Amino acid sequence: MSTQVRYKEIYRALMRDIAEGVFSGGEKLPTELALAERFGVTRQTLLKALNIMKLEGTLRSEQGRGTFVNAPAAPRPASGLRQLVYIASNLQESLAHRALVGVESAAHRHGFSLVTCNTRNDAEREAEYLRRARSGGAAGIILIPYFQRNRELALRIAAELPLVCLDNSFATDAIPLVASDNFRASYEATRRLIGLGHRRIGFLLTTLEAAREVDSVRNRFEGYRQALADAKLEFDPALISELGPALSHMRPSDVGLELFSYPAMNRLLHLPCPPTAVLLLWDELAPGAIAAIRDTRREVPRDVSLVGFNDDELCTLITPRLSTVRQDGEAMGEAAVRLLAERINRNTPIPPRTLVPSRFINRDTTASLTK
C-alpha cells in the first residue's frame, strides 16, 4: 500500500480516537516510535499524518515534552457573557428548529451567548461537540441526543457542568429531560380515534427497537397501547408496522416523501383485517401512507383516518390536510434554558423530568367510521 494511502488512514484513525475520547484535550499522545509500530509504518509516514493534524490545530508539539491533543476549538464567550451550547441531532427536523427559536430567545433574555451544533444524526460528531462544549468554557449544554450512543460520555459531562436533554433522554435521572408529554399526547390522539368509532387502530413507527430505546417513541407507543387497554380493545401486534432498520436512520427526503413510508403502510392495508385508522410517528410519514391508501382504491379519511405527530409545515401542504399533534418546541427550548439559568445562577436543582403539553390539531384526515 502506498505511503499516500497509509498516512491518510493514520490521520483518520487518530481523528477517530480523539472523537471517541481515547485521547482527550490536553492529553499527550504516545511517542512517535510507539505510534509508528502501532500502524506498521515508518516514522516519516507517521509524521505526514501528524503534521496535517498540527496544521489543522488538532495537535501541538511541545519542545522536549512530546505531542499533545489541543482542546477542541469551541468558541469561548465574549468577556462577561456566559455561553450555552445547543446540540441537536438534526436541525432540519421541525421540533429541533422550533426548540432553537425558544432557546435563542431565552438565552438572550437570561444573558447567555449561544453556540448551535448540528450532529446530523452522527454519534461521533455528537461526542465531539459534547467534548468541545466541556473544554470550551460552556456554562451549560442543551442536547437532543441521537439514540443512546454517548450515554456514558454525557453522564461524565453532566457531573461537571449543567446538561439538559431535550425531547429524548438517556434513561437516567442524572441528566434532566425537557420533553413533550408524548404519552399523554399519543393517548389522547388514540382516544379521539376510538371516539370516532375506530376499533382497529394501527401504529406506523421506525423500529420496535426505537420503541424500547428512544424516549419519545417509547412514550408515544405506550400511550397508544394504554388508550387501547382503557377502552377494552385488544392490542394486536399485526397492526404495528415498522419502516425497518434501513430506513429508520434516513430522512424521507433521501428516498422521496411518497416512497418513504409506502411499504410499511402497504403491509397494514393488506392484512386480512386492516386498520381503519393509523397513528404516524411523524408527519413526514403521511405522504407515503396516503399514496399507499389510494393505490388500494381507498380514500383518506373515508376508509382510513390518519393522525401525525409534530405539526410540520407539510401538514397543510398535502391533500387532505393532516390532523396531527402539535409539539410546542419553542416552549421546550425556553424551559430548558430557564432551568439551566436557575441551576447556573442560583444552584437550583433541575427536576429529572419537565413535560410540556401538546395540542391536537384537527384537520381533514380524521373522520367517524362509517362501516
Which domains, ranges and CATH numbers included, belong to the chain? 3-69 (1.10.10.10), 82-179+330-355 (3.40.50.2300), 182-327 (3.40.50.2300)
| DSSP-assigned letters across all residues of 257-290 | HHHHSHHHHHHHHTSSS--SEEEESSGGGHHHHH
- For 197-229, write each residue's pLDDT tens digit: 999 999 999 888 877 878 889 999 999 999 999
Cis peptide, bond prior to residue 357, ω within 30 of zero: no
Name the nearest CA neighbour of 86 among 121, 120, 127, 129.
129
**pLDDT of the residue at 75:** 46
Query: Cell for 254?
Result: 433521501
**pLDDT of the residue at 352:** 94
87 Cβ contact partners less than 8 Å away, ≥ 6 residues apart:
117, 119, 126, 129, 130, 133, 141, 142, 143, 144
How many of the other CB atoms lie within 10 Å of CB of 25? Answer: 16
**pLDDT of the residue at 17:** 81
Each residue's pLDDT, cut to its tens digit, for the chain (371 residues) gives: 444 457 778 888 888 788 767 787 778 899 999 898 888 888 888 888 888 788 767 888 888 888 988 865 444 444 445 899 999 988 878 889 899 999 999 999 999 999 999 988 888 999 999 999 998 889 999 999 987 789 999 999 999 999 999 998 888 889 999 999 999 999 999 999 999 999 999 999 988 887 787 888 999 999 999 999 999 999 999 999 998 766 655 566 566 667 789 999 999 999 999 999 999 999 999 999 999 999 999 999 999 999 999 998 889 999 999 999 999 999 999 999 999 999 999 999 999 999 999 999 999 999 998 75
Q: What is the pTM of this model?
A: 0.74
- For 282-316, write each residue's pLDDT tens digit: 999 999 999 999 999 999 999 999 999 999 888 99
Query: Cell for 59?
Result: 495537535
Q: What is the Cα–Cα distance from 24 to 68, expressed in whole angstroms?
A: 9
Place of cell 509524521: 47
